Chain A
Amino acid sequence: MSATTTEPLSYLDNTGDDPTVRARLVVGDNDFHAVTNKVCGIVESPQPRLWWVAFAISSSLTLVLLAMIAYLVTTGIGVWGLMIPVGWGYAIVNFVFWVGIGHAGTLISAILFLLRQRWRTSINRFAEGMTIFAVVCAGVFPGIHVGRVWFAYWLAPIPNQMSMWPNFRSPLLWDVFAVGTYATVSLLFWYMGMIPDLAALRDRAKTKIRYYAYGLLALGWRSSNRHWHRFEFAYLLLAALATPLVLSVHSVVSFDFAVSIMPGWHTTIFPPYFVAGAIFSGFAMVVTLVIPVRRIYGLQEIITKRHLENMAKIMLATGTMVGFAYSTEFFIAWYSGNTYEAFTFMNRAFGPYAWAYWTMVTCNVLVPQVFWMKRFRTNTILLWIASVLINVGMWFERFVIVVSSLSRDYLPTSWGYYRPSIVDILTFVGSFGLFFTLFLLFVRFLPIVGMAEVKGVMPQAHLDRPGHRGHGDYHGDITGTEVLS
């Protein structure tokens, strides 16, 4: 629980691949109380100095973001590097980047839940939180990238004296709805799942403020049987509701490009390709965050190496899918015989933006391949480095798609080369500030591990089942309803 926990000893290693030995999802001799102490302790005990340093940095970056937005709104889009032909630059790239990252949480909590991947329990809360903050960051950009922000409300279908509707044929409008829905549902999902743990915090509260604050948030949770029943049923429903969204959001985002007629944008492969990429980047971001956190707050026994390894495997899978998408694009560009399309891809790989393209390929396709090797999956340092690289790569993927396609379209006379302005860059950096500020506050005030759910997969949860003691991810006769009631 303190920052001084040492690197996990061998007994903490639950990454064995021997199917006869059921790996434990929580290692060390932790009983329920120990888990509660560990998790609640993070919120209750004062934060390590490292937290304060991080918070100082990220919050000042947030101020930078606000300053840049103010400058933008008072001066004009021209403070960015945009021009004709490249009418979309960093803003949209960042938007897609953040939305993509926002995919891991809901995927883990919803899809893995429905798939009974019970190892999710240790990381889902954490991932969901990250999702919300990523979506917040994403939400910033479409808002500020329009030329006349003060009229952005015209995007919403509200009655007005002009008796004008928005244009429902425009993918940008679909975006508004898709991202809006996604944000709402993820938020609900996140909050729903937190209620029992908030109640736990409430019950352990030492100060009045905490008592009432957590009390209010806990919505009077008394952990009665009925409560648990309702809770788990609602959780199941939300999971079912969220699952299609995981796939729909980034599909819709990809329509922004796929529906246009720009070579390099107008591609049928975009929806699946974007979703795969989103999950890819999402997990990369989870890993990037979770490794330091578990280290600093001594959660190695709850967020175990097995969790990291599993995520590494998912990254390997999705990363390979993305790589496949890249190659398919090239093949189709050649196979379709569409010379514009063909040129766009040759230009990506060998034109002025080749540097961005090859950065993308290296980070997204080559780097994940190391996860074929267990060493890389289980060594936290290497894993962390790889996941950071993947984040970089995924940002460049969006950059390549948006910018390199626009910069050279149909008429050679209107070709151009896009250079970001300093404001572009600071806005981007600032969005990271916003993201980490929110994340640090989350760590500071909310339970970052779903205690109740973790307890559910601990050996102690199955004392009533002789013969299955200690088999955390037992898949036998524990049916959904059983789990839920």
Chain B
Amino acid sequence: MTATATGPSGGPTIPRADAVFTGGPAMPRQGAVEVEHLTHVYPSGKVLALEDVSVSIGHGEIVGVVGQNGSGKTTFSKHLNGLLKPTSGRVVVNGIDTAGKRVQELAAHVGYVFQNPNHQLFATTVQADLAFGPQNLGLPEDEVQARVERAIEFFGLQHVRELHPYRISFPMRKLVGIAGIYTMQPAIFVLDEPTTGQDHVTTQVINTLIRRLRDEGATVVCVSHDMPLLADVVDRLLVMWNAHLIADASPREVFSNTEVMARTKLEPPQVTSISMQLGRRPALSVDDLATDLESNLTSVGVA
């Protein structure tokens, strides 16, 4: 469903307020996550948090979810592992309908990494904490240990494995938080603001991590404000605004859609703005734009 249809004169008509911008033609997908007409009303304050959201995410996709606070993006992400249940509509993850399933049961399929790692760390050493998840899944001890070793290897935690989680730096704790979910080997990872408040180096580490998870066959849903990160790493952006999903398209298509960007008051990454102001296709990283420009600029000789 596209938001701009051609009017009688052949030019684009103004998009309907409730239309979802989906950019180009939809690719066939086998569902890792199928969300159908999801509506959620918070019982306490009668707040409408989500209205009629429908999304289909295929296995191995990396999807970003963006929106201002209060747009519904966090509410949406919490439906993916059953922390919240739909008021109406359906959420199916890895082929399982979340309705009537407890969070603990869905944990083997969907791993939710909380924004503040302190909320998630329980054990007295890093390696004991990594074992927590698979132990809860009832796996035999040797399998648990094998997974812990793999995680330590994957995340580079060798030098902190014996340390207490609260004694390591905050960025390392964030990695341990993700590693603790990794050991559960879910098909789908939901990352809640993985780079918020982090410096450049840690952001790069998370960037690489997301790609490696995908390389291993995982599906990654990343809720974030970090537009440069998402532009560089995701296949698709889901844009939330005022409880609605107003765009579901590739980053380039979303950034070019001035109406969607204006409505959500989100800023594209700087490099994207530069590329668009130069009349080029929206760039998703410095490399992207540099490559695009290199052969198209008058040269000024080697500086």
Mutual binders A and B: no
